């Protein structure tokens, strides 16, 4: 996958709280092109694998439970410098520390239930996009 792409999820809290539209507006206004998108739900196995890097962390069980409790919006986004620019748009993991105007500052409720995911490297963006989408679903 090209390095001008990143992968995002609107997490179950963002969907439950009715923020899909507002978050997509922010993404659009920031100049990202939506390359793939779907409403889906992660299984326990999906979430354990997706967040496998955190498997030894104390919050892992809660994170898997949270990420599987309802629908998510999964999407692939394209823009120059997509990974870094999208991390800036979403803000810090903990919304209390996120900059004003960022998606997490506006829509997250806690460090765990923080509304959105954004890939942290080009390599992970490619892995995460392939986790959720087949080649024919990328436009």
Distances (CA, A) of 79 to 50, 67, 85, 86, 120: 23, 26, 8, 9, 15
The answer to whether residues 120 and 87 touch, using CB atoms and an 8 Å cutoff, is: yes
Cβ neighbours of 1 (radius 10 Å): 20
Sole binder of ligand UDP in the list 49, 55, 81, 93 (CB under 6 A): 93
The CA distance from 35 to 94, in Å, is: 27
For ligand UDP, the closer CB: 13 or 78? 13
Query: Per-residue string for binding with ligand UDP, 34-63, x by CB under 6 A?
Result: -------------------------x---x
> Segment contacting ligand UDP (CB under 6 A): 30-38, 42-50, 114-122, 130-138?
114-122
> Segment contacting ligand UDP (CB under 6 A): 25-33, 95-103, 106-114, 129-137?
106-114
117 classed as catalytic = yes
């Amino acid at each position: 996958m090209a390095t001008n792409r990143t992968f995002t999820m609107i997490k179950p809290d963002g969907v439950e709280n009715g923020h899909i539209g507002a978050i997509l507006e922010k993404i659009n206004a920031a100049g990202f092109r939506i390359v793939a998108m779907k409403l889906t739900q992660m299984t326990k196995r999906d979430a354990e694998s997706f967040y496998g890097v955190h498997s030894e962390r104390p919050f892992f069980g809660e994170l898997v439970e949270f990420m599987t409790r309802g629908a998510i919006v999964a999407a692939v986004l394209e823009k120059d410098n997509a990974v870094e620019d999208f991390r800036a748009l979403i803000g810090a993991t903990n919304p209390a520390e996120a900059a004003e105007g960022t998606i997490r500052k506006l829509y997250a409720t806690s460090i765990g239930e923080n509304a959105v995911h954004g890939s942290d490297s080009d390599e992970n963006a490619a892995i995460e996009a392939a986790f959720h989408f087949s080649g024919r679903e990328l436009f």
